[in-house]
Structure 1
Amino acid sequence: MKKLALATTLALSSFFAQADTIAGVYIGGQVWDMEAEGSFGSSEQLQAFELEDDKKSSYWAALEHPIPLLPNLKLRQNELDTMGMADVEDFAFGDRVYNGDTLVDAELDHLDVIMYYELFDNSIFSIDFGLNFKYAEYSVSVSANDPNPIFTEETVDYNGVIPMVYLATEVGILGTDLDVFAEGSWIGFDDHNVYDAMAGLKYSFVDNIIVDLDIRLGYRTMKFDIQDLDNMYVDAQFDGAFAGIEFHF
């Protein structure tokens, strides 16, 4: 019986070691304590709004494999809706002109489709490089602050892909279960400047042949400076600390 148990343990260990070599699956999520500031418009006339600070979430899944030339894949859903108010004067948005207390409701949730290669990867240091195709379904609505805002609401939408350069790295701290990590996406051309960057510490809470569990703490910043995407103009920034977990199978 002991020999059978030992043989079974060795077989399982070999299986999971080979599975991790063949492909690694990562699933994680984080809560982001976000501070927001921004200006919005449907033309070059932007209006600054006092945006609400809020807690937002982000979830991701990634698949890494050893197939040459085929990039690894990471999907990350980002919750990024915000609301705010401003006392405006002759603010033109859509087909209306607003005066007085005015509300903005900006839906900037998006999906990151990240294709990347591991340029270097060992237990001490790793670096990934690729492209982030940020799929956006953005909607910005402006309405007068009255009991029936639906009758004064104007909305500008943008659906499309924002391609960005992607870079990520991790550095292990010798003698500890801690890693320093950083990850970012960026694009800048003409009057557009968009970036999404984070950095922090990762603690390996569970590390065995079946699953790894990491706790992540850090700071994230996101900037949208986009001009005339289907008549949408946004100059907004979101910053704050985050906490998250990630499972590796």
Structure 2
Amino acid sequence: MKKITLAICAALASASASADTILGFDATLGAWKPAYSGTIGVDNFNVDEFALAEDNVTFIQAALEHPIPLIPNILVAHSKIETNGATTLDENVTFGDETFVAGSELSANMTLSHTDATLYYEILDNWVNLDLGLTARMYDGDFQGDGVIGLACIPESAPCPSVQQTETIELSGVLPMVYGVARFDLPFTGWSIIAQGNGTSYNGDRHTDLTAKIRWDFVPALDFAIEAGYRSMTLDVKELDALQSDLEIKGPYLGLNLHL
């Protein structure tokens, strides 16, 4: 009886350890400092003209892995991307249904915030980790242009009125994307090398979002880690909602990770 009791206890301990290994929660909160390049609008206006602000972008993601076969794991992520800038137009430019004439003082506010819902499977789980799945990226953004141009006055000393123009182009579509992440753990060091990405190309639209980073488990007992790396996103869309763009958004990334 004593041997049977010990065997049962050993089996329960083994099952508990296995469950701890299989069932997991991973969350990252980070800041991304991107620069913007490329074109926007039907006239392929160069966004460098706006000198868009390179403010920090808040980024958060959380993943839950479970031991149930055939049912995918789930990851949810959100990036809040907002920037603005201004320029004086050298030529006429059309955004949406509004044409801003040469000489206008044009300010731009651009929001490319998005939320990802990802279903994925864990293909490898060792010192090499590989996850593959599908993502639905939901955009909640827009591009707003505000232009002001002064009218010619006769006589020139008279007060001159100005004409104001405003146009807002919505971006609220959903893009299906392929998802993948590979992590290479350096044994006995607490360091990992991680490559994570989403990508799609369909019906004239092309979108990629790639991150390369290193992770250091600086408090292993508490499952806390620091991440640092580089994130690069391209948004070449013509058919997604009303916004047309060929943008590249890239820059360094820093985050805090919790893994249970």
Which protein has the larger Cα radius of gyration, Structure 1 or Structure 2? 2
Instruction: Give the corresponding residue for 1:24.
Output: 24
Q: Is residue 194–residue 213 contact of structure 2 (8 Å, CA) maintained in 1?
A: yes
The structure with the largest strand share of the pair is 1
What residue is the counterpart of 2:238 in the other structure?
Answer: 227
For the aligned residue pairs, the C-alpha RMSD in angstroms reads 2.4
Paired residue type of 1:189:
Y
Task: Return the letter of the residue paired with 2:194.
Answer: F
Letter paired with 2:139: A
- Residue 163 of structure 1 aligns with an amino acid whose one-letter code is P
TM-score (norm. length: structure 1): 0.85
Secondary structure at the aligned position of 1:69 is classed as coil
| Aligned match of 2:93 | 91
Say which of 237, 242, 246 aligns to 2:253: 242
Q: 2:220 aligns with which of 207, 213, 219?
A: 207
- Structure 2 distance, partners of 1:247, 1:31, is 15
User: Could you say which residue in structure 2 is the equivalent of 1:121?
Assistant: 125
Alignment of 1:1-249 (within 5 A): 17=17, 20-21=20-21, 23-41=23-41, 44-49=42-47, 50=50, 51-88=52-89, 89-99=91-101, 100-122=104-126, 124-145=127-148, 152-208=165-221, 211-249=222-260
Per the alignment, do residues 67 and 197 of structure 1 end up closer, same or farther by CA in structure 2, a change over 3 Å counting?
A: same
- In structure 2, C-alpha distance between the alignment counterparts of 1:16 and 1:216, rounded to whole Å: 29
Deviation at 1:85, TM superposition (A): 2.4
Percent of residue pairs bearing the same amino acid type: 29
- Please report the TM-score for the alignment, with normalisation by the length of structure 2: 0.81
User: How many pairs does the alignment contain?
Assistant: 231
SS at match of 1:164: strand
- Distance in 1 between the 2:163 and 2:239 partners? 25
Letter aligned with residue 107 of structure 2: L
Deviation, 1:191, is 2.2
Query: How many angstroms does 1:87 deviate by?
Result: 3.0
Query: Do the aligned partners of 1:113 and 1:134 also contact (CA within 8 Å) in 2?
Result: yes
- The answer for unaligned runs of 5 or more in structure 2 is 1-12, 151-161
CA distance 1:150–1:83, change in 2 (3 Å): farther
> Quick one: distance in 2 between partners of 1:151 and 1:77?
35
Kept in 1, the 8 Å contact 2:115–2:139? The answer is: yes
Offset, 1:230: 2.7
Q: Which residue of 2 is the match for residue 4 of structure 1? A: none
Uncovered stretches (5+) of structure 1, i.e. residues with no partner = 1-12
Change over 3 Å in CA distance of 1:150–1:212 after alignment to 2? farther
Q: Helix, strand or coil: the match of 1:66? A: coil
